[in-house]
Amino acid sequence: MSTKFPDKAADPSAPAAIPPRERIVSSAADLFRKFGIRGIGVDAIAEAAQTNKMTLYRKFGSKDELLCATLRQVTQRAGAIWDELEREFSGDAAAQLKRWVEFQVDRLEQEPGGCDLANAAVELRDSDHPAHAVVQEFKNSQRNRLAAVCEAAGSSNPELLADTLSLLLEGARVSVQTSGPEGSSRRFKESCEATIAAFSSR
């Protein structure tokens, strides 16, 4: 192999240097995002990951399980963001909340395709699909972390504030897809600020 692909073997950033499992998850996430879950088959994923269908099935068992793996990867990144907010504004929950809103505004611009997990839930009509459990657990955990920050920030009703902000975010990420960047999502920051102000302790 090393004589056949000398450059790839020498360059650790080359696709072949990344383990097949990670290459498959990364390629699948990318293709699902671009073409939709039903819009892409395992053959195309295997090809994009520079592997074959047999390896894909050996590592994941099924396309459904591969989809769950791509969604779990997204949830891990989201968890890291909360940890970063906590580190950056240690002990200042109001600043964490403010930064959370700004972070989401950036994402609305940079990721007009919306939330991979919400999109998967919308696209998968079958409620028994294993991805639904991954999505639901993730959305609940995000909402609960947000509620904890709202409570620490001294909101008058942290639970309702967290639910309201969660709905605004879910709505904004879908609204970019339904109405484009000039739709209601353009006011997401103002909407959040007005909501946070309405729920501030008086």
For a copy of itself, the binding residue among 36, 61, 154, 181 (CB under 8 A) is 36
Cβ at position 116, least distance to a copy of itself in Å = 11
27 binds a copy of itself (CB under 8 A): no
Stretch that binds a copy of itself, among 54-62, 81-89, 102-110, 113-121 (CB under 8 A): 113-121
Cβ at position 113, least distance to a copy of itself in Å = 7
Burial of 34: CB neighbours in 10 Å, binned 0-12, 13-18, 19+ = exposed
d(CA 53, CA 134): 24
b or e along 141-174 (b: 16 or more beta carbons within 10 Å of the residue's beta carbon)?
ebbebbbbbbebbebeebeebbebbbebbbebbb
Stretch that binds a copy of itself, among 4-12, 13-21, 47-55, 165-173 (CB under 8 A): 165-173
Helix/strand/coil for 153: coil
18 binds a copy of itself (CB under 8 A): no
Question: What sign results for the dihedral spanned by CA atoms 126, 131, 135, 141?
Answer: positive
For a copy of itself, the binding residue among 24, 129, 155, 199 (CB under 8 A) is 199
For a copy of itself, the binding residue among 19, 38, 58, 90 (CB under 8 A) is 38
Q: Which of residues 63-92 bind a copy of itself (CB under 8 A)?
A: none
8-state DSSP, 16: G
Cβ closest to a copy of itself, residue 96 vs residue 185: 185
Angle at which helices 63-88 and 116-123 cross, to 10°: 150
User: With CB under 8 A, what is the number of residues at the site for a copy of itself?
Assistant: 53
What one-character-per-residue DSSP string does 100-111 give? Answer: HHHHHHHHHHH-
Q: Decide: 196 and 97 in contact? Cβ < 8 Å.
A: yes
Closest CA to 93 of 145, 147, 146, 149: 149
42 binds a copy of itself (CB under 8 A): no
Cβ closest to a copy of itself, residue 49 vs residue 121: 121
Applying CB under 8 A, which residues contact a copy of itself? 33-36, 38-39, 113-114, 117-119, 121-125, 135-136, 139-140, 143, 157, 159-160, 162-164, 166-172, 174-175, 177-180, 183-188, 190-191, 194-195, 197-199
